[in-house]
Amino acid sequence: METVSILLYVILFLSVLVSYPFLRKQKRGVPVKRFKLPPGSMGWPYIGETLQLYSQDPNIFFLTKQKRYGEIFKSHILGCPCVMLASPEAVRFVLVTHADLFKPTYPKSKEKMIGPSALFFHQGEYHTRLRKLVQSSLAPDTITKLIADIEDIAVSALESWGGSGQVINTFYEMKKFSFDVGILSIFGHLDRGYKEKLEENYRIVDQGYNSFPTNIPGTAYQKALLASKRLNQILGEIIYERKEKGLVEKDLLGHLLNFKDEKGQTVTEDQIADNIIGVLFAAQDTTASVITWILKFLHDDQKLLEAVKTEQKAIYESNNGGKSPLTWAQTRSMPLTYRVLLESLRMASIISFTFREAVVDVEYKGYLIPKGWKVMPLFRNIHHNPEFFSDPHNFDPSRFEQIAPKPNTFMPFGNGVHACPGNKLAKLETLILIHHLVTKFRWEVVGSQSGIQYGPFPVPQQGLPAKFWKESSSPIQDVCP
């Protein structure tokens, strides 16, 4: 393990060293000395504070900085000078009121892998147009029609876990569940052959997404690039078939294919492919992570679990013992379960921060944010600030019972024009899965899973190993011969 860590540090050092001349050139155009930069440390020459960030829990890294320097501070990580913001007012300034001064920024390697036309790489007119299309395909009147199909996916997954008698990696299985729901929302009922091809290649892209970007044959990144090209080919076949049949569907693909603005402009096939891959990426890990955390929090608080069961059992019985499907109104009438969802989003803070880049020199509260510097609103720091949430490290769904959080203090799906457009679908599929889980199944976490791992989203250690079984039966025990 130590060898792997040392290798990671060496790779990070070399990557920053290679980028340093470019950074030096970029800095010369910014008269930084004329202005007051935020407090903070830029770390070592060339590599900044990247090693400190990667050698500890990143949330502790940011929290320690905030305690020392305040709610706005500077650093130098991953080859970039950065300004971190940990106040609701600052986050609103960057993401809402002055969003035009800051552009979304991602490593070019990730843009290349997903596709440069994905909406979260853009701002302005193109972003607005694509975002409206995605939002309309994930609006309540559309996703309401998916409830029965999502239920089928959830029950099938639970039956598989419960019938295996095996310890499963909860996070990994939740990724498969959320992927299936994502496919449903994008394509409707997709041919099984296409679905299997998409899933096979998507997994390869997913595995290489956070790997070191090198085109050396056989590396995870190079495999991911090749798989991304195959994904585009498969999507091209699906689009061709949809056009040939003249189908007019209400799913995301249908919205993208049928769009035409007042000037007659349409969405190109490359743009469609990039945005479909982008939506899958945006939806899968985040939703899977929060569901995994909900299972852990409920497992750790049996009294709360029983209360959630009571709420869901009442709905189950009103549906003729589960024989009738859930309705949209019922998913909106799960107050305790919904508060558990909200508190899990706050506690876990799946999206701990986001990246922006200043497109001009920006002054904020007497400090300069130079053009070209990265800006990082720290959502988790705000979610765990006792000024906004009392006893913030305690899991307490009742905090959402009566008083709504102060504005810009609870942002599990981001904020502003780049906030997650699929948050309603994510909440819906989570509530549906929890309903069927607690009314028909039980689960038991295997081992002591108290830590957190990042990949890059926070999940319980080892993906929360657990056993599932039907409530009417007993857990299958491992028996030694």
pTM of the model: 0.87
The residue among 187, 395, 375 whose CA lies nearest residue 293 is 395
Cite the annotated binding site for heme by residue number: 420
CB burial readout 8-44, b (16+ within 10 A) else e: eeeebeebbeeeeeebeebeeebeeeeeebbebeebe
Cite the annotated binding site by residue number: 420
Contact (Cβ atoms closer than 8 angstroms) between residue 377 and residue 354: yes
Where do the structural domains in the chain lie, given as residue ranges? Answer: 1-115+351-383
pLDDT score, position 89: 96
Separation of alpha carbons 59 and 84, rounded Å? 12
What are the residues facing 83 on neighbouring strands?
74, 375
pLDDT score, position 30: 43
Across 409-476, where does the E strand assignment appear?
A: 441-445, 452-454, 458-460, 465-470
> Which tokens go with 410?
């609870």
Separation of alpha carbons 135 and 116, rounded Å? 20
Separation of alpha carbons 333 and 324, rounded Å? 16
pLDDT tens by residue, the chain, 481 residues:
433 333 343 344 444 444 444 444 444 444 444 669 999 999 887 788 877 776 777 778 899 999 999 999 999 987 789 999 999 999 999 999 999 999 988 878 888 889 888 888 888 888 888 898 888 888 899 999 999 999 999 999 999 999 888 999 999 999 999 999 999 999 999 999 999 999 999 999 988 887 777 878 999 999 999 999 999 999 999 999 998 887 777 889 998 998 887 788 889 999 999 999 998 888 788 899 999 999 999 999 999 999 999 999 999 999 999 899 999 999 999 999 999 999 999 999 988 888 899 999 999 999 999 999 999 999 999 999 999 999 999 999 999 997 889 999 999 998 888 888 889 999 999 999 999 999 999 999 998 767 888 767 888 989 999 999 998 755 555 433 3
CATH level 3 topology of 1-115+351-383: 3.30.43
